[in-house]
Structure 1
Amino acid sequence: MSARRAYVVGLTGGIAAGKTAVARRFEALGVPVHDADVAARVVVEPGSEGLAAIVETFGTGVLDDRGRVDRAAMRRRVFADATAKRQLENIIHPRVRTWLRDRALAETAPYCLLAIPLLAENIAHYCWLDRILLVDVPESVQLERLISRDGIDRALAERMLAQQASRAERLALADDIIDNSSSEAALDAHVEALHRRYLALASTL
């Protein structure tokens, strides 16, 4: 008889849709959340194979004075150069997927969330997820939040949104959808209802 595993929910949404706010609410309910953004930092820490591959591809000019990836400089580079973006993704994404799956397989809770911003763009690699939860807002809301959050100009924000999967593509993948364009109280209620649903689904494994 195989060991029982955790039910695995992929949490996704467009940039600035509010995935972090949703993830924090699940964490407050005791649900483990493993974040692809955290993984993306871990897999390129100094001394890692990931960082060595980045330096080999892009040179030492992408490092800061501590020998770490200069994320602001790298972001400007990849959003201006599609080839550089693909090269960076080919280094980071496979390592992030391995990191996430390892943690999901090791999880002892009834269920866990994997926060994956680019899930729609990489869905073929995540066929092992049990369910997909989308945090959704209109693109106009994304744009304004992104400008405010990151202190960037509208042109860069629009380019960043254009290089992600469309809202329609994300909606087509979702098993569950949280509309994050309304109040915090509504968000709390959505998360609590989904928590109950996921515990029930996990009990059937």
Structure 2
Amino acid sequence: MENKDSKSEMIKSMAFRLFLDRGYDATTIRMLSRAAGVEAPSIYHYFGSKKGLFYAISESYLEDYQELLKESMKHWGADPMNQILGFVKFAVWYTMNHIDETKFYLRYRLFWPAELSEDMEKHFHKTNDQKEDLLRDAIRVCIETGSCKVDEQTAYRSLINFVDSCTFNIIFSNWRPDEQELIETWQLFYQSRIKLGKGDFEL
């Protein structure tokens, strides 16, 4: 007999695919129950609502992301530039190895369904705060030591834009850099936007 955990995980797995491919608004409880092979009351029993199911899915992968990031951080050392580069490497690795999860995040981080709009910022804040705290702490040290010639906010936004550019190129342009290519790309970005604080950079 299928236990509660396996049934709820199966529902989440099928719902993830529907939410990713069709979108939240276009996915109904009826579609979800058909895809998962369960009666609609089972979905309400485990998750309370479609919204509850959505948040259960996104919370699962956000927690996985946070744990993977924490594990990666153990290998970056205390040097702030190594920490920033470590985050860039992690972001690229994660995207290449978790394409669907990244697409899901981007879809619902950038285009919130109306039903979820009041909760989405709060829902994603822990992951966003984790990344922002990490980068800003490293940037402040780089500014103090002279390895960063721009102000904290400019450096932070530039780094986020760089990581976003990497993410979009992996997903939409099938970019698959090896470590050497990624480091070379990072060095070009760092020299133009962080160290010298001038010039344009296009990935």
TM range (shorter): under 0.3
State the TM-score, normalized to the length of structure 2: 0.26
Bigger RCO (CA 8 Å, 6+ sep): 1
State the TM-score, normalized to the length of structure 1: 0.25
Q: Which structure: greater helix fraction?
A: 2
